[in-house]
Structure 1
Amino acid sequence: MYTSMNPAYIIVLLTMLASWLIQRRLQSKFEQYSQVGLQSNLSGKQIAELMLADHGITDVRVISTEGRLTDHYNPADKTVNLSEAVYADRSAAAAAVAAHECGHAVQHATAYAALQFRSALVPALSAVSKFMPILLFLGVIMLNNTPLPLAAGVALFALTTLFSFITLPVEFDASKRALAWIDRRGIVTPQEHAMAKDALKWAAMTYVIAAIGSLATLLYYASFLMGRRRD
């Protein structure tokens, strides 16, 4: 049986710390860039609607959602959901977020392969998420008797790890589309563009560290199985 000094366990702890630090940095950056008013004086809602219109997308609604940094695109009901601050704000941060979420709408409209693959995984993930934690917990406890529950839990967790890594190109591409459009459309000045790019970079880092953390956790549980085979 592996101890707490298992390298994968250490990586899990380090990624948890890194995730907390990156979240703090992200919040700090968005707070900073939220104070910088756009010279174009467009709100997040107006920017989102303009980007959708420029890409010929007429069946997606832009709506406000509660919370902070809760912005997302929902392909199921075709809505760009902007947090209350981003929806009404007229800042570099709001421009970055609004355009990024519309980038996902553009991906959806153009059948971007990575987004389609990620969306196809969602039903399976919703189903396995109910059983995976139980299987992993029982699997570790029952490992001396049988490896089957843990093996099943690891297999299901591998699906969540795959989802985390598929999310990376989806997020990077949405940011790339967003930055190119706000620059081409003259939504931001060069200085505001640099702020928007920096904000999206830190937002992307949260997905990177989440993927690394998921992989480390997968390896941690898998190491119990490998350790049992060597016993």
Structure 2
Amino acid sequence: MFYPMFLYPSMIILLPGLILAAYAQFKVKTTYNKYLKVANQRGITGAETASRILKKNGIYDVTVEQVGGKLSDHYDPTKKKLRLSNEVYNGRSIASIAIAAHEVGHAIQHNKSYAPLTLRSTIAPVVGFTSNSAWFLFFIGILFNFPQLMTLGILFFASAVIFNIVTLPVEFNASSRALTQLESEYLVYDDEGIGVKKVLNAAALTYVAATIVAFLQLLRMVLLRGSRD
């Protein structure tokens, strides 16, 4: 029986991952919003937090700047810029300093040539192309009954799975560094550390969910390819 590509019964394979991904998004939003309303006792902003930790680690060539959007915070290793959203840059909340410290964690990784970050940065341009091309190739392979194109699409999508797997230690390590830096600089009190951990753990869950979804999607592609033999 023929099914449209995205209505194949094999979609059931993705269900656990999609449920986890939805929960992860819910968790990160609710946790972030909760601790965005809780002021840190030091009264420092995310931008001040980032600058202090960078200085403490002898990193003077990274610029901290404000960007638009919500939860758009990131570190750009190619330009050595740490970009913080308005709520984090100017905010004096537990969430603000947690996220700022996490992004500085990436800057510290870069400064210390942390291997997983170096690997992720190296493969990112290639993965950007292959992951965007994967489904197009796979769909054309199904449409025209060209299994070789389906196989190429699978190989291309596998690079996205690898990228997600490499991302996990990068993100977990950045969060670990963030908490260590906040505590060693006495930027949080003991009870505040609990809130910081919750914010960072919620964010980490989104990366775990993304990795699981990508893996299940790859498994689904392999099964669909096998059904064409």
Q: Residue 191 of structure 1 aligns to which amino acid in structure 2?
A: D
Aligned counterpart, 2:86? 84
Question: Aligned partners of 1:72, 1:2: CA distance in 2, in Å?
Answer: 44
Q: How do 1:77-116 and structure 2 match up within 5 A?
A: 77-116=79-118
Q: How far has the Cα of 1:129 moved from its partner? A: 3.8
Contact 1:2/1:224 (CA < 8 Å) preserved in 2?
no
Q: How do 1:22-171 and structure 2 match up within 5 A?
A: 22-143=24-145, 146-171=146-171
Question: Aligned partners of 2:108, 2:128: CA distance in 1, in Å?
Answer: 25
2:23 equivalent to 1:16: no
Unmatched 5+ stretches in structure 1:
none
Q: Residue 5 of structure 1 aligns to which amino acid in structure 2?
A: P
Aligned counterpart, 2:223? 223
Question: Aligned partners of 2:124, 2:114: CA distance in 1, in Å?
Answer: 16
Question: Aligned partners of 1:222, 1:161: CA distance in 2, in Å?
Answer: 13
Unmatched 5+ stretches in structure 2:
none
Q: Residue 47 of structure 2 aligns to which amino acid in structure 1?
A: K
- SS, match of residue 191 in structure 2: helix
Q: How far has the Cα of 1:31 moved from its partner? A: 0.8
Aligned counterpart, 1:197? 197
Q: Residue 22 of structure 2 aligns to which amino acid in structure 1?
A: W
Question: Aligned partners of 2:144, 2:192: CA distance in 1, in Å?
Answer: 56
Question: Aligned partners of 1:147, 1:67: CA distance in 2, in Å?
Answer: 42
Q: How far has the Cα of 1:65 moved from its partner? A: 0.9
Q: How far has the Cα of 1:2 moved from its partner? A: 9.6
Contact 1:103/1:175 (CA < 8 Å) preserved in 2?
yes
- SS, match of residue 82 in structure 1: strand
Between the two proteins, what is the percent identity of the paired residues? 36
Cα RMSD (Å): 1.5
- SS, match of residue 158 in structure 2: helix
Contact 1:2/1:227 (CA < 8 Å) preserved in 2?
no
Q: TM-score, normalised by structure 2?
A: 0.94
Equivalent pairs counted in the alignment come to 225
Contact 2:127/2:160 (CA < 8 Å) preserved in 1?
yes
Question: Aligned partners of 2:132, 2:43: CA distance in 1, in Å?
Answer: 46
Q: How far has the Cα of 1:130 moved from its partner? A: 4.1
